[in-house]
Every structure is written in C-alpha cells, then in structure tokens.
Amino acid sequence: MKGVMRFGKEGKLSPKYVGPYQILKRIGKVAYELELPANLTAVHPVFHISLLKKCVGDPASVVPLETVAVKDSLSFEDVPVEILDRQVRRLRNKEVASVKVL
C-alpha cells in the first residue's frame, strides 16, 4: 500500500473495485450508467470513465458486496487486520509515526 494515506477510521467506498456491474448505457462521451443492486440505491448510477475499470475476470480481485457495509452517509468503517510496518520519521522538530496496516 505504498503511497496510501488515511485520515480517520471512516472513508468513502474504499475497496476500490466493488462489482462487477453491467453497463446499461453510455451517457455522453465520458460517462456510463451502471446496473447497481438494490442495496446501493443511495449511490448515483452514473460514473465517469476514469472511475471505471475493465473487468479482467479474476474472481480473486472482486470484493463481494456483502462484505462492504455501507452506512446511510455513504461511508463505511474499515477494520484493520494486522500491522505490517511501523516507522517514525522526524520532520523539522517533531516526530511523525507512520503505520502500514492490512
């Protein structure tokens, strides 16, 4: 997870690729409407091309929708599994701890 910064416990739909979902239609040159399941009705179904990724067919890379508990505020709580690495960096006159979690 090199280069990933987190602020707090809650984040937007952080599992980057939840799906795959069927494309219903193309809207303009750079947007697509997706067929989302009923439990994601609060999420707007139109997405920009830059937010979509071609499905490569690897079932291991797909996050099951049941494991993503979306709140009404369209955020979820991420539970850390294991601490992989910890280091303390010195910036000017204060120390900042960096923790890499799984």
If one counts the domains in the chain, the total is: 1
> Which residue did the predictor score with more confidence, 73 or 2?
73
Residue 61 lies in a domain: no
Convert the pLDDT of each residue in 27-58 to its tens digit.
Answer: 999 999 988 877 777 778 888 888 887 776 66
Assigned domain for 22 exists = no
The domain in which residue 92 lies consists of 1-14+66-102
Choose the weakest-confidence range: 2-11, 21-30, 32-41. Answer: 2-11
> Which residues face 31 on adjacent strands?
27, 48
CB 86 within 8 A of CB 100: yes
Residue 100 to residue 59: CA distance in whole angstroms: 26
Whether residue 51 lies inside any domain: the answer is no
Structure-model confidence comparison of residues 85 and 16, the more confident one: 85
> Hey, which residues does 48 pair with through a beta bridge?
31
Structural domain includes residue 92: yes
Q: Give percent of the chain above pLDDT 90.
A: 13
Q: The tokens of 62 are what?
A: 């797909």
| Domain annotation covers residue 70 | yes
Confidence of residue 63 (pLDDT cuts 50, 70, 90): low
- Report the percentage of the chain scoring pLDDT > 70: 60
- Answer yes or no: is 56 within a domain: no
pTM beyond 0.85: the answer is: no
Whether residue 23 lies inside any domain: the answer is no
* pLDDT for the residue numbered 73: 67
Residue 35 domain-assigned? Answer: no
